[in-house]
């Protein structure tokens, strides 16, 4: 289960090598594949080559296809412009057509929550759990978006919540790429971390997109700090 890759090819390759070494046979790609990264095209090409992959659209794919739906923040808009310029309109449109949810072996997968691709679950139970769950009946819900890796029970229902964390830009102070493995069907879920050359990824963002509105410096800093 790979979430929030954000065009960080170095992190993606490290995670794929680790997953494939364990015998992973299928992949769930949970959205935010390319936006804000140094390697949008290369990342999309690598993901497209994965066998038996299920894709779920994230807010990043929606934003790149419909910039007016993204925040008016100049930094975000500049990053979107860079990503669209790199990928091209055809690839952007194809990503926008992805499903917003998937059900695989009794597990429900979304980007942020069943009701939104922006509002997601906190690491600790709270009163929003019930609203965010919406109408789902699955016993396990997997989501991302917050870039925080955790697993817990929902506060309002008999549902296990799992966030694999971010492959390309963790925000929990741990620079290692994050993902999760799931035994099928309905088996054990393992949260994983993998070391990679995060400094090279940060430098690549600056080198490739440093002239495009200042967003690259912000993203590079987030990779370096593993914090928003």
Identify the structural domains of the chain with CATH numbers, from first to last. Answer: 9-225 (3.60.21.10)
Report how far apart, in Å, the C-alpha atoms of 157 and of each of 65, 139, 154, 171 are: 35, 9, 6, 27
- Decide: pTM greater than 0.75: yes
Report how far apart, in Å, the C-alpha atoms of 52 and of each of 55, 93, 124, 154, 176 are: 10, 22, 33, 29, 25
Distance between CA atoms of residues 163 and 145, nearest Å: 8
H or E stretch including 128?
none
C-beta of residue 204 within 8 angstroms of C-beta of residue 156: no
Model confidence at 113, pLDDT cuts 50, 70, 90, reads: very high
Is the pLDDT confidence value at 228 over 80? yes
Distance between CA atoms of residues 208 and 205, nearest Å: 5
pLDDT of residue 179: 98
Angle between helices 198-209 and 215-225 (to 10 degrees): 180
Q: Specify the higher pLDDT residue, 155 or 7.
A: 7
Distance between CA atoms of residues 95 and 57, nearest Å: 7
**Preceding peptide of 211 cis, ω within 30°:** no
What digits encode the pLDDT tens for the residues 120-147?
Answer: 999 999 999 999 999 887 799 999 999 9
Model confidence at 48, pLDDT cuts 50, 70, 90, reads: very high
C-beta of residue 195 within 8 angstroms of C-beta of residue 10: no
pLDDT of residue 186: 73
pLDDT of residue 12: 98
For residue 169, which phi and psi values (nearest 5 degrees)? Answer: -160, 65
Q: Specify the higher pLDDT residue, 190 or 51.
A: 190
What digits encode the pLDDT tens for the residues 51-89?
Answer: 899 999 999 999 999 999 999 999 999 999 999 999 999
Edge to edge, the sheet with strand 160-163 lists 101-104, 107-110, 140-142, 160-163, 150-153
Model confidence at 167, pLDDT cuts 50, 70, 90, reads: very high
pLDDT cut 90: percent of the chain above it = 93
Q: Of 6, 59, 57, which is closest to residue 36 (Cα–Cα)?
A: 6
201, two tokens: 């990824």
C-beta of residue 78 within 8 angstroms of C-beta of residue 212: yes
C-beta of residue 8 within 8 angstroms of C-beta of residue 168: yes
pLDDT of residue 156: 76
Span 82-109, average pLDDT: 97
C-beta of residue 10 within 8 angstroms of C-beta of residue 197: yes
């Amino acid at each position: 289960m790979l979430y929030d890759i954000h065009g960080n090819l170095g992190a993606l390759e490290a995670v794929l090598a680790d997953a494939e070494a364990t015998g992973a046979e299928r992949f769930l790609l949970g959205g935010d594949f390319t936006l804000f990264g140094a390697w949008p095209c290369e990342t999309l090409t690598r993901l497209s080559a994965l066998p038996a992959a299920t894709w779920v659209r994230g807010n990043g794919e929606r934003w790149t296809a419909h910039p007016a739906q993204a925040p008016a923040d100049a930094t975000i808009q500049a990053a979107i412009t860079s990503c669209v310029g790199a990928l091209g309109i055809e690839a952007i449109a194809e990503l926008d057509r992805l499903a917003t949810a998937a059900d695989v072996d009794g597990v429900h997968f979304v980007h942020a929550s069943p009701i939104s691709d922006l509002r997601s679950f906190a690491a600790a139970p709270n009163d929003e759990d019930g609203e965010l769950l919406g109408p789902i009946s699955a016993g396990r819900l997997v989501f991302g978006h917050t870039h925080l890796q955790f697993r817990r029970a929902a506060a309002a229902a008999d549902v296990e919540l799992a966030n694999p964390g971010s492959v390309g830009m963790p925000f929990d102070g741990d620079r290692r790429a994050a993902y999760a493995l799931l035994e099928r069907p309905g088996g054990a879920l393992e949260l994983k971390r993998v070391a990679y050359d995060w400094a090279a990824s940060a430098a690549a963002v600056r080198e490739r997109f440093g002239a495009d509105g200042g967003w690259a410096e912000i993203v590079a800093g987030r990779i370096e700090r593993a914090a928003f």
